[in-house]
């Protein structure tokens, strides 16, 4: 029976990388019924909401979404689509595997990086509770709850055990924010006692950032509140080639949305040069979620083989090829 999946192509380069990813996923042989839900900055402006009802209804219906980037205005305009999706669907766990791709030249090409970052996705400063106290004085509230902290910690430790990961590192700033980050870290410690087979340690976020740059190979599973998780996951992506090559998943109790975490890159949209690796890799996470592990393995090996071959890489990772040539190469390696 075919899997029903909501496809949200997005705007900018979104439709290009989405179409490439659909081709690659279908080449694995998995039967999928794509329910296309259009979403762009223009549609959002017209509808007056970051998350139009037709998108929300589609994900509720299918339970699984694959999403390309959607342009979000900076310092004004409508609120982030990603934040709206996470809140509306209670996608509490942001999961981002970060790993070395064969043949991809980075500053750490002689180091094998293989970590998974778990970011609490629903609260912290991303709750969006801001107000102007007096003119030119703005207050933003940082919300940390026991419920959300325990939930993300359990998700990260359960993943570590299931996937035979050796260590979970909780990242915080509880030396300064003793109540908010203090609550988060106490919850992590509590859950850690339920997993004696998994090593557990803690790092202050500024030290963790330094350690990631100096010795990224020492990290396995990272567990963070929302804001630190957002920053650290992008930092980690930079260690392995950038946002164009790392996948992302937003997991909830009922629904899941898999997305490329890079921007919509309107400057190159329509030129056929966008790198679809991030969304293809997110589709691998989606296939595993659907129980299609064999297909996920085939696609993952095909992407790795394409990078190792090095002939059809896009410009952002040092190549000269376009989206179509890269995708064709991946599909050839799927066989």
pLDDT digits (tens, 9 = 90+) for 163-211: 999 999 999 999 999 999 999 999 999 999 999 999 999 999 999 999 9
Mean pLDDT on 238-253: 95
**For residues 217 and 52, is the Cβ–Cβ distance under 8 A?**
no
**For residues 259 and 64, is the Cβ–Cβ distance under 8 A?**
no
Instruction: Point out the least confidently predicted range of 39-43, 137-141, 149-153, 227-231.
Output: 39-43
Per-residue model confidence (pLDDT) at position 79? 63
Q: Is domain 107-239 annotated with CATH 3.30.70.1520?
A: no
What are the start and end residues of each CATH 3.40.718.10 domain in the chain?
A: 1-104+242-335, 107-239
DSSP state, residue 8:
E
pLDDT digits (tens, 9 = 90+) for 299-329: 999 999 999 999 999 999 999 999 999 999 9
Per-residue model confidence (pLDDT) at position 158? 98
Mean pLDDT on 37-56: 86
**45, pLDDT greater than 90:** no
User: pTM to 2 decimals?
Assistant: 0.93
**74, pLDDT greater than 70:** no
Per-residue model confidence (pLDDT) at position 78? 54
Q: What is the mean pLDDT of the chain?
A: 94
CATH of span 1-104+242-335: 3.40.718.10
Go through the chain and tell me how many residues it has.
335
- 207's enclosing H/E stretch is helix 205-214
Strand order in the sheet with 167-172: 32-36, 3-8, 64-67, 256-260, 247-251, 93-99, 114-120, 221-224, 167-172, 199-204
Residues 6+ apart with CB under 8 A from 276: 16, 17, 20, 21, 24, 323, 326, 327
**For residues 303 and 100, is the Cβ–Cβ distance under 8 A?**
no
Can you tell me the distance from the alpha carbon of 284 to that of 290, in angstroms, rounded to the nearest whole number? 10
Mean pLDDT on 69-87: 71
Can you tell me the distance from the alpha carbon of 18 to that of 122, in angstroms, rounded to the nearest whole number? 26
Q: Which long-range contacts (CB under 8 A, 24 or more apart) does 210-219 make?
A: 212/236, 212/239, 213/239, 216/108, 216/111, 216/113, 216/115, 217/111, 217/112, 217/113, 217/114, 219/115, 219/169
Per-residue model confidence (pLDDT) at position 107? 84
pLDDT digits (tens, 9 = 90+) for 204-223: 999 999 999 999 999 999 99
Per-residue model confidence (pLDDT) at position 75? 47
**110, pLDDT greater than 90:** no
């Amino acid at each position: 029976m075919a899997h029903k999946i909501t496809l949200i192509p997005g705007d900018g380069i979104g439709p290009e990388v989405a179409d490439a990813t659909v081709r690659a996923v279908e080449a694995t042989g998995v039967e999928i019924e794509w329910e296309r839900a259009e979403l762009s900055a223009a549609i959002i402006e017209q509808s007056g909401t970051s998350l139009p009802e037709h998108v929300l209804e589609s994900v509720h219906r299918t339970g699984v979404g694959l999403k390309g980037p959607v342009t979000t205005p900076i310092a004004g305009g409508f609120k982030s689509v990603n934040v709206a999706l996470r809140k509306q669907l209670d996608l509490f766990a942001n999961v981002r595997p970060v790993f070395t791709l064969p043949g991809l030249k980075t500053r750490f090409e002689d180091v094998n990086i293989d970590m998974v970052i778990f970011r609490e996705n629903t609260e912290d400063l991303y709750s969006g509770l801001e107000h102007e106290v007096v003119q030119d004085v703005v207050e933003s509230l940082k919300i940390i709850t026991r419920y959300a902290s325990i939930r993300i910690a359990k998700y990260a430790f359960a993943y570590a055990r299931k996937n035979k990961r050796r260590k979970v590192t909780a990242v915080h700033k509880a030396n300064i924010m003793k109540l908010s980050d203090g609550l988060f870290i106490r919850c992590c410690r509590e859950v850690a006692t339920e997993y004696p087979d998994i090593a557990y340690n803690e790092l202050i976020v500024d030290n963790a950032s330094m350690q990631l740059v100096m010795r990224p190979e020492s990290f396995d599973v990272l567990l963070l509140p929302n804001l630190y998780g957002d920053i650290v996951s992008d930092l980690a992506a930079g260690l392995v080639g950038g946002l164009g090559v790392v996948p992302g998943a937003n997991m909830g109790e009922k629904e899941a949305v898999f997305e490329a975490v890079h921007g919509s890159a309107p400057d190159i949209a329509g030129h056929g040069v966008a790198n679809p690796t991030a969304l293809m890799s997110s589709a691998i996470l989606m296939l595993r979620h659907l129980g299609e592990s064999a297909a996920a393995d085939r696609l993952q090996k095909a992407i790795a083989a394409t990078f190792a071959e090095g002939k059809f890489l896009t410009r952002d990772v040092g190549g000269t090829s376009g989206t179509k040539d890269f995708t064709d190469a991946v599909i050839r390696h799927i066989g």
